[in-house]
Amino acid sequence: MKTKKKNRFLTFCFSCLPGAAEMYMGFMKMGVSMMLLFFAMIMLAVGLHQGVVVMIGVVVWFYSFFHANHLAGLSDEEFEKVEDNYILGMDGIPGVRSMVDKHNKWVAGILIFIGVCFLWNSVEDLLRAVLPQMYQFIPRMMWRIGNYIPSLVVGVLIIVVGIKMIKGKEASLPEDTEN
């Protein structure tokens, strides 16, 4: 799809949904990645019961809104020079691919954890449907446990990463030597 300047009013209207105005102007990579990031933040906030994650979504919304209106306000020559890249420039940063390859065990672990959460919820739903009323305490207990495990695991991971970052920073600081 060719990018081209569009109606300013419609661009403004579409900019109320992160990524939509970029897609309207033909910047599909920007728009889709912006939209995915925005909705991923909302899903994380809801799934982890951590409203603070929504703040990242709000920042993405504001960035997308002003980015789209900035694009619409460019001169024709400047607009034609804009490249359709994924947001955050992740595809162009040297070493990103090697970092992803280096940390593939973390990615695999996260995917396994998400899969376990899906299975847990599915088993809980299945038990709720097939168990007689007198045994409904089992799926209720599973729901209570499963409702808080993702948030607890992510909280522990954030603390562990923070501790590792602090220890790494301390190790990299030069010792204060006396003369």
pLDDT mean across residues, the chain: 78
What pLDDT was estimated at residue 57? 85
What pLDDT was estimated at residue 175? 60
Say how many CA atoms lie within 13 Å of 46 toward its Cβ.
7
What global pTM score does this model have? 0.55
Cα 146 to the center of its chain, rounded Å: 21
Kindly state the tokens that stand for 166: 């602090």
Residue 26 near residue 4 (C-beta atoms within 8 A) = yes
What pLDDT was estimated at residue 167? 81
With 80 as the cut, is the pLDDT of residue 9 above it? yes
CA dist 22 to 75, 125, 140, 147, 179, Å? Answer: 16, 40, 44, 36, 60
Which H or E element spans position 121? Answer: helix 104-130
For residue 93, give the DSSP letter: S
Give the whole-angstrom CA distance, residue 178 versus residue 107. Answer: 45
What pLDDT was estimated at residue 39? 87
List the single range of 41-45, 53-57, 129-133, 157-161 with lowest mean pLDDT. Answer: 129-133
Give the whole-angstrom CA distance, residue 154 versus residue 28. Answer: 32
Q: What percent of the chain has pLDDT over 70?
A: 79
What pLDDT was estimated at residue 2? 59
